[in-house]
Chain A
């Protein structure tokens, strides 16, 4: 598939899950394609970084379902911050582990999973979706019912896949990409740096324990070397810190973002990658 074919399967108003973590292994080429599309009114579920920030800056986001938004080396995501402070996005806050439980509940097709996480905190005041549940067993204790975060579509970036969607990560952590891909029943798309024959997957991964994404979880594969740029995608490439700093600087004014958009977003992905290589 191409990024354009992925985006053609998405609709305005959808709840879209995005894999990766902070500014690490984000499916940025698909994010850039969404920004060029007429899609709007999206609910984004993410351990968020520039994925959420860019989509907010481009006016694509109605609601953010997140536990944090960070660029890692720059602590706060500047575009998300701006959108929040201007009151432009609805905010549905979670704890990191609670977000994991919500994805797990969706993946297991149950409406919630009980947890102590959130008790005593303002999550219960500020996230109107959160409800309490009482243990039906002898302890009778009250817990938070972390709600199933069922997704309409999912996008992730992995390192290698075969054409059917069996995929692997080569970096330090899968993060929660497998849970994201299981939290939707349809519209599960991955981009990868390289598509390889199935027979080469184990060799590419290094061992079979790294084959954590199967084609049961994937509906389409986009081959896009550098598709995670400018986020970290070890061992293919580190985070492009200079580029990220420029991106962060584009939150300084509408004019600055217009210039960033003109140069880096309103161009085809092929052109983007050529311009990055020429920097």
Chain B
């Protein structure tokens, strides 16, 4: 195995898994609900290392303790039954942190997954629909995973607001802000947040191999860029071992993003 990676080597997808795991730091005993392969791997890593009290799904109707991100067979260790009906109870309790995708997102974190085009009655591209985004964003903690950081996704104005951004949340008042907590965006290039006085999106860190200029150029609105943007945290040898041997032994996380090097 002369060409096998040594313990210290990692890929962009591994850095993304760490950044996604970090979204859940200090969440405590909540339902961590990352949607998609890499977010699920990141969530499993958070629970296996620094957030042991998280509850997580089998991507269907069970909450299970298994560290593996998929393919449990008969080995599932079931904590509870969590059909869709119960999932909405969890959402409305506020004890959940979801990581969703976004076809478009703006500087305040307004998300669009419903339709592209300004005429909703006659969209250029129909997408999946509002799904659970309006309820997720006003009831529980929400982060986003964007595997293709680009000006097509990071836009000045989204065509349809499915997930609620900071500006609209504040304008709507306490009925929204009581439970509102829009947290972070993790992309294939960087980590972003809204930790600014007016809740405009800020560049929190750039992944190794990415520059601030690259991220700015691929974002379709003006980002808040601090004077010193740190590099995203890189995986420790122990984290790489857990990722490779336990959580994602089929390396599915490596297939989710372009330019994974």
Contacts and interface: CB of A to CB of B under 8 A. Distances in A.
B147 to A, nearest CB: 14
Given A87-B121, A122-B162, A176-B84, A117 B115 contact: no
Contact of A116 (B62, B114, B138): B138
A245 interface: no
A96 B132 contact: yes
A116 B139 contact: yes
Nearest to B88: A97
A84 B123 CA distance: 7
A121 B83 contact: no
Contact of A97 (B91, B129, B165): B91
A168 interface: no
Nearest to A114: B175
Given A67-B130, A69-B129, A143-B175, A126 B84 contact: no
Interface stretch (A75-83, A190-198, A255-263, A268-276): A75-83
Contacts of A96: 84, 88, 130-132, 135
A243 interface: no
Interface stretch (B166-174, B231-239, B250-258): B166-174
A119 B172 contact: yes
A145 to B, nearest CB: 13
A94 B130 CA distance: 7
Query: Which of B60, B62, B123, B130: most chain A CB closer than 10 A?
Result: B130
Contacts of A200: none
A90 B122 CA distance: 10
B240 interface: no
Nearest to A179: B85
B88 A80 contact: no
Contact of A85 (B125, B134, B168): B125
Interface string B78-115: 00000111001001100000000000000000000011
Q: Which of A90, A91, A97, A142 has the most CB of B within 10 A?
A: A97
B121 A91 contact: yes
B134 A117 contact: yes
Interface string B117-161: 000111111111111111101110000000000000000000011
Nearest to A132: B175
B176 interface: yes
B123 A95 contact: no
B133 A95 contact: yes
Nearest to A24: B60
A141 B175 contact: yes
A88 to B, nearest CB: 10
B179 interface: yes
B135 A69 contact: no
Contacts of B133: 95, 121
Contacts of A84: 115, 123, 126
B115 A120 contact: no
29 contacts: A68-B131, A69-B128, A69-B129, A75-B128, A76-B126, A80-B126, A84-B115, A84-B123, A85-B125, A90-B121, A91-B121, A95-B131, A95-B132, A97-B92, A97-B135, A100-B88, A115-B135, A116-B138, A116-B176, A117-B134, A118-B135, A119-B176, A120-B138, A120-B171, A120-B172, A121-B161, A141-B174, A172-B83, A173-B61
Given A69-B129, A120-B164, A126-B120, 14 more contacts: A81-B125, A87-B122, A93-B129, A95-B131, A115-B135, A116-B175, A116-B179, A118-B134, A120-B161, A120-B171, A122-B160, A123-B130, A172-B60, A174-B83
CB-CB nearest 5 A-B residue pairs: A120-B164, A68-B129, A84-B126, A121-B134, A117-B135
Interface of A: 21, 66-70, 75-76, 80-81, 84-85, 87, 90-91, 93-98, 100, 115-123, 126, 141-143, 172-176
